[in-house]
Amino acid sequence: MAKKALLIGVSQYEAGLSPLAAAPKDVAAMWRVLQSPELGAFDEVKTLIDPDLEAMQTAIDLLFQSCQKGDLGLLYFSGHGITDDSDRLYLATRRTSKDTFRSTAVSASFIHGIMRDRSYQRQHVLILDCCYSGAFAEGWQSKGVDVKLKPQLEVEGSVVLTSSTSTQKSYEDKEGELSLYTNYIVQGIESGAAESDGDGMISADELHEYAKRHVQSAKPAMKPEIYGFRQGIKIVLSRAKVDTKLEYRRLVERYAENGEISFVGQDILEFQRERWELSDEVAIAIENEVLEPDRKRLKNLERYEKSLERACKKQFPLTEKILGQFKDLQEVLGLRDEDVLAIQERVMSSYIEVQKQHELKIEKQRLIALEQLRQSELRKQQELDLENQRLAELEQQRLRDSEQERLKTEAKLKAEREAEQKRQEQQKLTELEQQRLRDAEQEKLKAEAKLKAEREAEQKRQEQQRLAELEQQRLRDAEQEKLKAEARLKSEREAEQKRQEQQRVAELVQQKLRDAEQEKLKAEAKRQAAREAEQQRQEQQRLAKLEQQRQREAEKKQRLLEVERQNIQSRTDDARSSPSIVEQTIDRIIKPKNLYLIIGVSAIAAIASLVIYMLWQQSESNKRLSIELEAVNSLKTTGKYQECIDRAKRISTNGNDARAQSLLQECQSGLNEIEEKSQLLEAKKFAADNKLQDALRIVAKINTNSSVYADSLKLAEQWSSGLLVNATKKYQEEGKLQEAIALLKVIPKNVATGKATEQLPSKWQAEWKANETALKSANNAIKESRWNDAIAESKKITTPYWQKQTEAIVQKANAALVSVPVSAPEPQAQPTYEPQPQPRYDPQPSVSNNEPPQREPQREPKIILDPVNPGR
């Protein structure tokens, strides 16, 4: 399978598009990792910098045209992406301007058509580090809704990696030399940190997840996406460097949160650093590299918050222009809307409260001024009425003096009219006074109703905010539980599939071994039968020869005896005539010397026959023993150790053969080796199911002389580290001290983790007692209304489990400390508002009684912003 890549970087553009200085550097960095034999190992990597439309289209066409069946083709682009009104994507060239992009830029449909035409049994990878690059894959999928076009648009074995979604911009890393997304793509390959499933290879989905995690740590607003079709997301792009630095980096990533490492994680990292013999300089460099994105994000959040505080101090409320500038600052810093809203609520809440108090005071002063104005007008009206009355009396006096006589008759009527007029006037004044009092009462009631409505609205807003925070926390917890469950199910399915595959392979191997053993035994039986037949034939021939030789010797002896008998007969006949000759002849025959000779020859012949028979029996026994030993050796070679042991024992029982004893020991060792390997495999299965205690108990039974002892010791060290993490979690987060100590006791003492944790149970027990004492003291301080002492005792708690139990205590103490109202500032001509520190309340309910805390009238209120970290 050939691996080919085309890397395109466009940094210079026509009018309307800003230059991108990082594009050529992105291409150089990608070329470095892809062509490296130790990493990407691509057979052909071509680069194209600032091409025009024709050159870019030709290079893309040649890339996919050159890929044969089974080949991998990778297209990388770093530059501007432009979308039209229909959300169709174009990749800009150096001749592209904002107004002519349709005729000077490469369309996504052009690339899609080439890939679709050459998709049969090929692997295609697209990496797009550009603005609005998400529209490529999204547009692709949206066309797939058409049933007729679906078979043509679903390209087999393809995957698309984008630096952001269709409505978001990609960022250049101003502090580095590469674009943010490409920087972490290259870093994940070079460091090997992107590899996550332990197979030593980096696939497209692993690389994307690594880059996405680090990009969103630095720029939360960016949302890189991956779009895979069929098995495209599993395309292998590079090999992974596996070393202790990479393992240390993964541990740092595991225990890092918000730019810091937990104190438990620091202890674990320190232990692993000493174990792996990493220098402090290397470890610090790895930690800084991993924590840098979170620190940058926190630094950007702090920068945004400080800028917002300065703006609020200078002018509040903020104008629309200032708010627009803060929107631009959010985009530049790459902050999410939820992060910005949290900062705005935290910073501006105090200013909003002060502004409300100031407006309320101004409104109260305005009402007082209106009331004073009405009182003044009423007094002026009364004085005017009195003056009119005095003038009328003078006029009446003058008329009485001048026309006393003429008006005597009319005086009574006039006096009555004047009395009636005065009564009406007094009645009118009384009605006006009553109306004024009613208006004042209504104004007072309206003011009280307005204040009450504002207080209720504020309480309702705070309650809604608290409920929203609780709901968000619940959703986050549910999401985490869902992700954990999915990850656990996925790991269980993968472990089950792997176990079934291993079992199937083992059964196939055993079946093949059994078949080969049967064939070998059949052939051996045939050869044994042939050898036995040949031996029997040769033995029969030898016995036949011996029988023929014996018959010949018997015939020879018979002939000799016949000749001797004839001689004796002839001599007897002669002796009849001469007794002296007969006697001589008889004396010669029966001489002891000749008799002994005959007896000796017969005895020697019998002994020779017996020796020959015994030698034949010994030869047959040796042959049978050799056959049995060969069969035992064959069983040992094929791995049938139990049968080998049984036959070797029978040979040893029948005789004291040294070779049989040796084969018996070898077969016994082989059987023990298989059993220990089976034990190790069973321990691995327990470890895969997260049953680390059972796995450690099994490997503890493996003999130190076994060939798998070294592997079992390494696995025991690894599982002991995992068990230590589980025990630490149970103790610190779940508060299960005895269960945690029981887990520590399972750790073997012959591994480094076991030696390092010998003193840990006593340390945890002492720490547990100290936390119990501190919690009891804090509860007593709460009961005695010693709020600062309660907070001080709560700070002595050292583990998360006990800290959760002090949250309600700290909440109640802080609520009591901030319950003393702070006087509002006097209004000025042009007031400026200084933020007042607001307490952060924990939404968890208090565990103590519900009685309101008693105020301390002589104590200055102490504001604590964070119940857990008061210094923050």
CA distances from 269 to 185, 214, 249, 265, 852 (A): 26, 21, 10, 6, 46
Contact between 87 and 75 under an 8 Å Cβ cutoff? The reply is no
- Residue 796, C-beta contacts closer than 8 angstroms, at least 6 positions apart: 770, 771, 774
Amino acid at 616: W
Helix (H) or strand (E) holding 159: strand 158-162
pLDDT beyond 50 at 18: yes
What's CA 652's distance to the chain center, in Å? 59
Instruction: Categorize the per-residue pLDDT at 247 as very low, low, confident or very high, splitting at 50, 70 and 90.
Output: low
| Side-chain-side CA neighbours of residue 433 (13 Å) | 9
For residue 190 the two structure tokens come to 């070079």
What's the CA gap between 37 and 50, in Å, rounded?
27
Amino acid at 24: P
pLDDT beyond 90 at 75: yes
3-class DSSP state of 193: coil
For residue 317 the two structure tokens come to 């409320």
What's CA 870's distance to the chain center, in Å? 31
What's the CA gap between 661 and 651, in Å, rounded?
9
Which parts of 544-698 are beta strand (E)?
A: none
Contact between 700 and 717 under an 8 Å Cβ cutoff? The reply is no
Instruction: Categorize the per-residue pLDDT at 859 as very low, low, confident or very high, splitting at 50, 70 and 90.
Output: very low
Contact between 264 and 732 under an 8 Å Cβ cutoff? The reply is yes
Please state the rounded mean pLDDT for residues 572-591.
53
Report which DSSP code applies to 243: S
- Residue 753, C-beta contacts closer than 8 angstroms, at least 6 positions apart: 717, 720, 721, 724, 747
For residue 22 the two structure tokens come to 């990082």
- Residue-level length of the chain: 872
Q: Which of 60-64, 122-126, 173-177, 337-341 has the highest mean pLDDT?
A: 60-64
pLDDT beyond 60 at 591: no
pLDDT beyond 50 at 140: no
Measured over all CA atoms, what is the biggest interatomic distance in the chain, rounded to whole angstroms?
Answer: 249
Q: Which of 113-122, 253-262, 515-524, 584-593 has the highest mean pLDDT?
A: 515-524
Instruction: Categorize the per-residue pLDDT at 499 as very low, low, confident or very high, splitting at 50, 70 and 90.
Output: confident
Between 724 and 851, the more confident residue is 724
Amino acid at 709: Y
Helix (H) or strand (E) holding 654: helix 641-654
What's the CA gap between 347 and 343, in Å, rounded?
6
Instruction: Categorize the per-residue pLDDT at 93 as very low, low, confident or very high, splitting at 50, 70 and 90.
Output: very high
pTM of the model: 0.36
The answer, yes or no, to whether the previous bond of 852 is cis (omega within 30 of 0) is no
Residue tagged 């964070």 (tokens): 866
Contact between 723 and 696 under an 8 Å Cβ cutoff? The reply is yes
Please state the rounded mean pLDDT for residues 25-42.
91
What's CA 794's distance to the chain center, in Å? 32
Residue 249's pLDDT is 67
User: In the predicted model, what is the mean pLDDT of the chain?
Assistant: 76
What's CA 309's distance to the chain center, in Å? 37
What's the CA gap between 217 and 220, in Å, rounded?
6
Helix (H) or strand (E) holding 130: strand 123-130
Residue 42's pLDDT is 92
Residue 582's pLDDT is 44
CA distances from 836 to 306, 352, 599, 601, 729 (A): 15, 10, 139, 136, 39
What's the CA gap between 39 and 201, in Å, rounded?
9
What's the CA gap between 839 and 791, in Å, rounded?
14
Please state the rounded mean pLDDT for residues 842-850.
39
**Cross-strand partners of 81:** 91
Report which DSSP code applies to 179: B
pLDDT beyond 70 at 824: no
